[in-house]
Amino acid sequence: MKWIPGKTAKAQAEPAATATDANSAAALQDLAAKLADADPREMARTFFREALSFEKSRQQLQENMTKIAWRVAGGAMLVALASILGSTALVQLKRPSPPVIIKDNTATGDVQVIDVAHSGTVTFGELELRAALRRYVELRERYDWYTIQDDYDTVSLMNSPREQTGYAALYSRKNAPQNVLIDKYRVVAQPGAITFVGSTAQVFFSKKIISLSTQGSSIPTPPRTEYWVATITYEMGDLPAKSDEQVRNPTGFRVTSYSVDRDWTRSSTTDGVAPMPSAATSSQSAPSDVQGGASQ
């Protein structure tokens, strides 16, 4: 008997294909029977339920994607805001120190140096010292008939014994301010810039002389402004023991020497203004034979 492989394989495959076709046909017949027995309304309900479920799943997916997108955008905004704040902080740390500003009054020619202070550059002690210097110059250089005694007592308390001798001699002269200016003039002192050269301070200030009498005229005399520089050496002494002295000089500031010079770098407003009566305005102008002690 002769063996033929090709025919044998074909013969074996034909029954398997026939069985598969039979199964498919049976499944189709079963499905057709179920569809024939099913209620059309129930089928419609099932179809709509499946369609609604599919639509809901798509909407849920879209909502989830939207939430994720908003979260990503919010995170990006937070990162950008943090970057801006960090850059601003670095700029503040690297900001250079502000320069000293010179204020020029074009009307009077007044040039004033304005000290710019910010955190960490000026100590409390220096600010306290500047305040004491300004107050001393203002009290010593101003004049008012009704406050002269109070100013004299305060300046005397802020003077060292040596400086007080010359200051008292100033008010012991015949041409002392209280004897010449009396109640007809007022002198307003305005301290300006303060500079330090070692332990010596220079205080730039202006003096405005105001005439309080019309001198027979209905038009008051215009005020006269002069510019001066006070050179001061000082020390910080013991705090006053008495309560009234603590009010006048709470820091124990003491002036050991005091001199004034005209500031010719600034023009004075003297044109067309009547001169003020000659009065002693500096302790350097007091005669050497005059002893201390105010005679007000």
Residue-wise pLDDT tens digits, 103-155 = 555 555 555 555 555 555 678 888 899 999 999 999 999 999 999 999 999 99
What is the pLDDT at residue 161? Answer: 93
The yes-or-no verdict on residue 287 having pLDDT over 60 is no
Task: Tell me the backbone φ, ψ of residue 268, rounded to 5 degrees.
Answer: -90, 150
Confidence at 97, pLDDT banded by 50, 70, 90 = low
Number of compact structural domains in the chain: 2
Query: Do 134 and 279 share a domain, yes or no?
Result: yes
Domain membership flag for residue 4: no
Confidence at 285, pLDDT banded by 50, 70, 90 = very low
Query: Do 122 and 260 share a domain, yes or no?
Result: yes
Coil, helix or strand at residue 149: helix
Domain membership flag for residue 152: yes
Coil, helix or strand at residue 195: strand
Query: Do 272 and 150 share a domain, yes or no?
Result: yes
Coil, helix or strand at residue 22: helix
H helix or E strand, kind and range, residue 257: strand 253-262
| Of the candidates 272, 275, 237, the residue with the CA atom closest to the CA atom of residue 158 | 237
What is the pLDDT at residue 171? Answer: 93
- 90 vs 5 pLDDT, higher one: 90
Evaluated on CA atoms 286, 287, 288, 292, the torsion sign reads negative
CA distance 187 to 147: 12
Sorted by sequence, the CB contacts under 8 Å of residue 210 that are 6+ apart come out as 185, 186, 187, 188, 223
Query: Do 215 and 68 share a domain, yes or no?
Result: no
Residue 246 is encoded by which pair of tokens?
Answer: 């603590």
The yes-or-no verdict on residue 167 having pLDDT over 90 is yes
Question: What single-letter amino acid sits at 272?
Answer: G
Q: What is the pTM of this model?
A: 0.56
